[in-house]
């Protein structure tokens, strides 16, 4: 996977948007990159983990997005081009740093990538982060295709350095995870070390300095507007009486599936090129604004019309032609087919008339989360409770038969809400949080729970990786890439160090033992922490270190009570149409959880 | 010319790998290519859809519903779920090896009979080609080469615009050195099986 650095200028490859961005970083000579993993941005980190040293770049997985942004900011004020990247909700975590960094500004170029996820393919919301650009008054660029995703990186660094402020580089899932042909440019010279020159009035944000920095930021914004007017990232494509204004991936839908209209394609989307937009609108029959999520462009277009005395009708979300929810596709354009020519597509076949079983994403066969969920449910019994879950694979505990997610908000939110439920209700508050999420934002709520005396159970699901986003290392695993080797932090030591009295570590594969420990934890008066420690089998498979000794069901002993299915529900357990239970050896990894809960000892290792 | 392939299946079946092979072959044949892939949460045993579009001026990574020229279904239920991606002219290449969703495995939901699934698509389309890729892959030497069987079968479909030799060459460039021989055999079995149907 060295495709991002090796190929020469002029060669072409079929690249994922995220791979194209990595190549863009290499061509722009970026010396410092940092992230907390989050889909749809994750592949960038997975590639940088491998290639960063060879391209002279320092790269790190920071403990959370705020730290990623702060470390990258330090590089950029020291003369090193830097790149902080995260998913849209990660920007919320980093927002505190972002808002004031905009005031201080930077010296070498800095991009902050926000990978938004319309339709929430892998997310808890579909917030539109373009508003962070207007909120922070920072310039923003938005690519439409993988080729642009690469090319705009260098252009965005030029903008950042000319204005001495970070630039928001905003993508959406269908740019990050689109794949198309990318032609490479030349590889830039990378500077990984700089020197910090003191300048208190810029970098020490006390009130007296902040007031003056705001004036400078407003000036940068004014100059950014001029750059936007002249930017090659904003251009008119085609002629016609009807005008379409669009940006990001929706440009590709407009370009391919409409005809006869003139398209104003915006790539530099904050500040908008207001004169260019007014000139484009003038004389048009009407304007259609095509953008996903909020009417970010549309509302500004309406204002530009009003300020320029333009009485051209503007259609889009405010007029009800296009939706605010979910990502667009070429199909969405049918909403404006009365306003412009939209390509007809053949009538889709009607759906099939057989009742199809659902196929939601699910915890893997042998996933240790199955064991801890089964044990927790058994220990809690019919005691009133609230399960406060978090962001990770274990959110899938929401499904039958576990139902171990009653509340999910955000990273670290399980522990925070558990504290609230423990005071505001008489229900037992039980929080689940993964190892990576614990280091991201789980330690602070534990200190708050101790400080305020919350009586709750915190279950830390330590599967020794950041699983959901593609198995990135985290502070608990230690680091061994990019010529840096560190030991992992021991979660039990961290929790004891905070001052938690009740701390137990269990192996969730031993379900019965785990039930006993969970019973103690649930009965404990005060804060109880249970660490459920067992490697993610998918990660072991990926690293080719998983040894499988499949199990089998002894049909003579099995009484068809289905305790194994009801408690563990592993996809390797197959209940036939006749009620017999078998184990699919192609899926079974030999974790033994089903055997551990079997009341008749009817499940055991296959002896060969 | 523009051509759209929708590849559907279940996470872990090699849908992404197959779409990469078709995409790289389309690029080698001189076409513009635009694809869309599913990454992240959906890969945990969920439905996976990969869209491949190629031809002059192709830029959108997504295709409207009903716009597919070819639907390659790696799994029968998932092929049925994707019926509305096609139209009356669409060819369906349907693998018959089922992968049971977890709720089926646990006995909470029923998996329909293969005949019912194939029949339901045949009711609305006259262009349904079925194949037992898993069986052929085992014949080739390893079950994991089922996606190579599917690529070989696609290459033999009437009107498929990419040359079989190019597809095979691209496939062999994509797979690891040690499994080239197996994939070569699997591709040929898929191709011969489908060509024999004509």
CB–CB contact B112 A354 (8 Å): yes
Query: Is A347 part of the contact surface with chain B (CB cutoff 8 Å)?
Result: yes
Q: How far apart are CA A47 and CA A485, in angstroms?
A: 18
CB–CB contact B41 A39 (8 Å): yes
Of B23, B33, B39, the CB nearest to A40: B39
Of A345, A354, A573, the CB nearest to B106: A573
Of A40, A355, A362, the CB nearest to B45: A362
| Closest approach of B22 to chain A, Cα-based (Å) | 11
| Closest approach of A219 to chain B, Cα-based (Å) | 38
pLDDT for residue A10 is more than 90 = no
Residue to test with chain B: of A357, A365, A366, A572, most B Cβ within 10 A: A357
**Tokens, residue A33:** 């990159």
| Closest approach of B190 to chain A, Cα-based (Å) | 23
Chain A CB contacts of B104 under 8 Å are 357
Chain B residues 4-23 with a CB less than 8 Å from chain A? 10-11, 20, 23
**Are residues A535 and A563 located together in one domain of the fold?**
no
CB–CB contact A347 B66 (8 Å): yes
Query: Is B196 part of the contact surface with chain A (CB cutoff 8 Å)?
Result: no
Higher pLDDT, A191 or A96: A96
**Inside any domain, residue A351:** no
Query: Is A573 part of the contact surface with chain B (CB cutoff 8 Å)?
Result: yes
Q: HEC states along A153-217?
A: HHHHHHHHHHHCCCEEEEEEHHHHCEEEEEECCCCCCCCCCCCCCCCHHHHCCCHHHHHHHHHHH
pLDDT for residue B173 is more than 90 = yes
Residue A551 is predicted with a pLDDT of 96
Residue B11 is predicted with a pLDDT of 86
> What's the CATH code of the domain at B190?
3.40.920.10
Query: Is A574 part of the contact surface with chain B (CB cutoff 8 Å)?
Result: yes
Chain A residues 449-478 with a CB less than 8 Å from chain B? 468-470
| Closest approach of B95 to chain A, Cα-based (Å) | 16
Query: Is A252 part of the contact surface with chain B (CB cutoff 8 Å)?
Result: yes
**Are residues A243 and A147 located together in one domain of the fold?**
no
> What's the CATH code of the domain at A437?
3.40.50.970
CB–CB contact B44 A362 (8 Å): yes
Instruction: Give how far the C-alpha of residue B40 lies from the chain's centroid of Cα atoms, to the nearest Å.
Output: 20
Per-residue pLDDT band at A309 (split at 50, 70, 90): very high
Block residue for tokens 């020291």: A78
| Closest approach of A354 to chain B, Cα-based (Å) | 7
Shortest CA distance from B58: residue in chain A: A256
Of A12, A357, A396, the CB nearest to B104: A357
Residue B40 is predicted with a pLDDT of 65
pLDDT for residue B39 is more than 80 = no
Residues 6+ apart with CB under 8 A from A345: A330, B64, B65, B66, B67, B87
**Are residues A146 and A283 located together in one domain of the fold?**
no
pLDDT (tens digit, 9 = 90+) per residue, B60-78? 999 999 999 999 999 999 9
pLDDT (tens digit, 9 = 90+) per residue, A515-537? 999 999 999 999 999 999 999 99
Complex-level ipTM? 0.96
Chain A residues 193-232 with a CB less than 8 Å from chain B? none
Query: Is A11 part of the contact surface with chain B (CB cutoff 8 Å)?
Result: no
Residue B43 is predicted with a pLDDT of 67
**Inside any domain, residue A6:** no
Chain B CB contacts of A468 under 8 Å are 40-41, 44
Q: How far apart are CA A427 and CA A454, in angstroms?
A: 12
**Are residues A268 and A283 located together in one domain of the fold?**
yes
Residue B157 is predicted with a pLDDT of 96
pLDDT (tens digit, 9 = 90+) per residue, B68-126? 999 999 999 999 999 999 999 999 999 999 999 988 888 888 999 999 999 999 999 99
| Domain housing B14 | 2-195
Average pLDDT, chain A: 96
Q: Which candidate, A248, A253, A325, A252, places its Cα nearest to that of A294? A: A325
| Closest approach of A410 to chain B, Cα-based (Å) | 16
Q: How far apart are CA A41 and CA B44, in angstroms?
A: 18
Per-residue pLDDT band at B197 (split at 50, 70, 90): confident
**Are residues A214 and A121 located together in one domain of the fold?**
yes
> What's the CATH code of the domain at A330?
3.40.50.920
pLDDT for residue A2 is more than 60 = no
CB–CB contact A574 B64 (8 Å): no
Q: Is the separation of the CB atoms in A547 and A591 below 8 Å?
A: no
- Percentage of residues of chain A with pLDDT beyond 90: 94
**Are residues A58 and A20 located together in one domain of the fold?**
yes
Query: Is B42 part of the contact surface with chain A (CB cutoff 8 Å)?
Result: yes
CB–CB contact B107 A562 (8 Å): yes
Block residue for tokens 């909403």: A335
pLDDT for residue A1 is more than 50 = no
Which of A230, A265, A299 represents a domain boundary (last residue)? A230
How many domains does one find in chain A? 4
Of B35, B47, B57, the CB nearest to A359: B47
Chain A CB contacts of B27 under 8 Å are 12, 14, 181
**Inside any domain, residue A465:** yes
**Are residues A253 and A206 located together in one domain of the fold?**
no
How many Cβ atoms are within 10 Å of A6's Cβ, its own excluded? 13
**Are residues A576 and A526 located together in one domain of the fold?**
no
**Are residues A450 and A556 located together in one domain of the fold?**
no
| Closest approach of A55 to chain B, Cα-based (Å) | 25
CB–CB contact B64 A330 (8 Å): yes
Half-sphere exposure of A334 (CA within 13 A, CB side): 9
**Are residues A292 and A387 located together in one domain of the fold?**
no
CB–CB contact B124 A469 (8 Å): no
CB–CB contact A352 B121 (8 Å): yes
Residues 6+ apart with CB under 8 A from B177: none
Per-residue pLDDT band at A4 (split at 50, 70, 90): low
Residue B143 is predicted with a pLDDT of 84
Q: Is the separation of the CB atoms in A217 and A102 below 8 Å?
A: yes
CB–CB contact A357 B83 (8 Å): no
Residues 6+ apart with CB under 8 A from B172: B180, B183, B184
**Inside any domain, residue A189:** yes
**Are residues A419 and A511 located together in one domain of the fold?**
yes
Residue A98 is predicted with a pLDDT of 98
CB–CB contact A354 B27 (8 Å): no
Residue A608 is predicted with a pLDDT of 52
Q: Is the separation of the CB atoms in A160 and A153 below 8 Å?
A: no
CB–CB contact A349 B124 (8 Å): yes
Q: Pairing mode, if any, of strands A456-462 and A551-553?
A: unpaired
Which of A177, A199, A230 represents a domain boundary (last residue)? A230
CB–CB contact A571 B105 (8 Å): yes
pLDDT (tens digit, 9 = 90+) per residue, A207-226? 999 999 999 999 999 999 99
pLDDT for residue A25 is more than 60 = yes
Q: Mean pLDDT throughout B134-155?
A: 94
| Closest approach of B50 to chain A, Cα-based (Å) | 10
**Are residues A246 and A384 located together in one domain of the fold?**
no
| Closest approach of B34 to chain A, Cα-based (Å) | 5
Chain A CB contacts of B43 under 8 Å are 361
Higher pLDDT, A316 or B13: A316
Query: Is B126 part of the contact surface with chain A (CB cutoff 8 Å)?
Result: no
Of B61, B85, B117, the CB nearest to A178: B61
How many domains does one find in chain B? 1
**Inside any domain, residue A354:** no
| Domain housing A575 | 551-605
Residue A325 is predicted with a pLDDT of 97
- What's phi and psi for A35, nearest 5 deg? -160, 165
Residue A5 is predicted with a pLDDT of 57
Q: Say whether the peptide bond before residue A271 is cis (omega within 30 degrees of 0).
A: yes
Q: Is the separation of the CB atoms in A93 and A69 below 8 Å?
A: no
**Inside any domain, residue A381:** yes
pLDDT (tens digit, 9 = 90+) per residue, A124-177? 999 999 999 999 999 999 999 999 999 999 999 999 999 999 999 999 999 999
Shortest CA distance from B57: residue in chain A: A256
Residue to test with chain A: of B4, B40, B83, B143, most A Cβ within 10 A: B40
């Amino acid at each position: 996977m060295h495709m991002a650095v090796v190929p020469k200028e002029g060669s072409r490859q079929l690249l994922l948007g995220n791979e194209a961005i990595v190549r863009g970083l290499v061509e722009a000579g970026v010396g410092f990159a940092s992230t907390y993993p989050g889909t749809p941005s994750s592949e960038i980190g997975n590639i940088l983990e491998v290639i960063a040293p060879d391209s002279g770049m320092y790269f790190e997985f920071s403990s959370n997005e705020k730290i990623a942004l702060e470390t990258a900011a330090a590089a950029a004020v020291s003369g090193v081009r830097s790149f902080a990247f995260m998913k849209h909700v990660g920007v919320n975590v980093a927002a505190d740093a972002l808002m004031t960094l905009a005031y201080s500004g930077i010296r070498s170029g800095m991009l902050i990538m926000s990978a938004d996820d319309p339709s929430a393919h892998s997310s808890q919301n579909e917030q539109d982060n373009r508003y962070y650009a207007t909120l922070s008054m920072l310039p923003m660029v938005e690519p439409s295709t993988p080729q642009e995703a690469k090319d705009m990186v260098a252009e965005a660094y030029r903008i950042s350095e000319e204005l001495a402020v970070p630039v928001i580089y905003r993508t959406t899932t269908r740019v990050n995870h689109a794949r198309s042909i990318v032609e490479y440019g030349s590889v830039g010279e990378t500077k990984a070390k700089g020197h910090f020159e003191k300048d208190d009035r810029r970098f020490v944000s006390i009130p007296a300095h902040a007031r003056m920095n705001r004036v400078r930021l407003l000036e940068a914004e004014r100059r950014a507007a001029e750059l936007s007017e002249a930017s090659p990232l904003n251009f008119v494509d085609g002629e016609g009486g009807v005008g379409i204004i669009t940006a990001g991936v929706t440009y590709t839908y407009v370009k391919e599936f409409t005809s006869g209209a003139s398209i104003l394609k915006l790539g530099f989307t904050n500040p908008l090129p207001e004169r260019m937009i007014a000139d484009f609108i003038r004389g048009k029959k009407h304007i259609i604004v095509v953008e996903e999520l909020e009417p970010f462009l549309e509302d500004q277009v309406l204002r530009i019309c009003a300020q320029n005395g333009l009485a051209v009708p503007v259609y889009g979300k405010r007029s009800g032609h296009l939706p605010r929810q979910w990502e667009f596709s070429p199909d969405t354009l049918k909403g404006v087919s009365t306003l412009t020519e939209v390509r007809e597509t053949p009538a889709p076949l009607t759906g099939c008339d057989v009742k199809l079983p659902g196929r939601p994403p699910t915890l893997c066969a042998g996933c240790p989360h199955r064991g801890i969920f089964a044990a927790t449910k058994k220990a809690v019994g019919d005691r009133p409770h609230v399960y406060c879950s978090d962001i990770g694979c274990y959110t899938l505990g929401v499904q039958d038969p576990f139902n171990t997610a009653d509340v999910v908000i955000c990273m670290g939110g399980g522990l925070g809400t558990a504290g609230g439920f423990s005071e505001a209700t008489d229900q037992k508050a039980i929080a689940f949080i993964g190892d990576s999420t614990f280091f991201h934002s789980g330690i602070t709520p534990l200190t708050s729970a101790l400080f305020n005396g919350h009586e709750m159970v915190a279950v830390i699901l330590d599967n020794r990786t950041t699983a959901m986003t593609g198995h990135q290392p985290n502070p608990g695993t230690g680091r061994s890439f990019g010529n840096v080797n560190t030991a992992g932090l021991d979660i039990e030591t961290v929790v004891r160090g905070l001052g938690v009295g009740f701390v137990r570590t269990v192996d969730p594969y031993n379900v019965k033992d785990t039930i006993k420990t969970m019973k103690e934890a649930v009965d404990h008066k005060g804060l109880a922490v249970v660490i459920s420690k067992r490697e993610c089998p998918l990660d072991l498979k990926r690293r080719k270190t998983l040894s499988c000794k499949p199990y089998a069901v002894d049909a003579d002993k099995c009484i068809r009570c289905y305790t194994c299915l009801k408690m563990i529900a592993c996809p390797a357990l197959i209940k036939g149409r006749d009620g017999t239970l078998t184990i699919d050896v192609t899926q079974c990894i030999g974790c033994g959880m089903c055997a551990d809960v079997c009341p008749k000892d009817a499940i055991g290792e296959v002896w060969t | 010319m523009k051509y759209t392939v929708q590849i559907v299946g279940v996470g872990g079946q090699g849908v992404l790998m197959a779409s990469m092979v078709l995409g790289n072959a389309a690029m080698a044949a001189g076409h513009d290519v635009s694809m869309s892939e599913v990454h992240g949460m959906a890969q945990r045993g969920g439905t996976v859809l990969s869209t491949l579009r190629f031809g002059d001026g192709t830029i959108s990574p997504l295709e409207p519903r009903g716009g597919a020229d070819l639907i390659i279904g790696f799994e029968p239920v998932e092929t049925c779920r994707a019926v509305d991606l096609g139209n009356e002219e669409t060819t369906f290449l349907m693998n018959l090896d089922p992968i049971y969703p977890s709720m089926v495995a646990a006995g909470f939901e029923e998996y329909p009979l293969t005949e019912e699934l194939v029949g339901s698509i045949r009711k609305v389309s006259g262009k349904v080609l079925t194949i037992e890729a898993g069986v052929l892959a085992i014949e080739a030497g390893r079950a994991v080469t089922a996606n190579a069987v599917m690529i070989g079968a696609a290459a033999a479909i009437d009107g498929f615009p990419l040359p079989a030799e190019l597809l095979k060459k691209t496939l062999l460039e994509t797979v690891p050195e040690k499994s080239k021989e197996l994939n070569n055999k699997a591709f040929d079995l898929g191709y011969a099986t489908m060509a024999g149907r004509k």
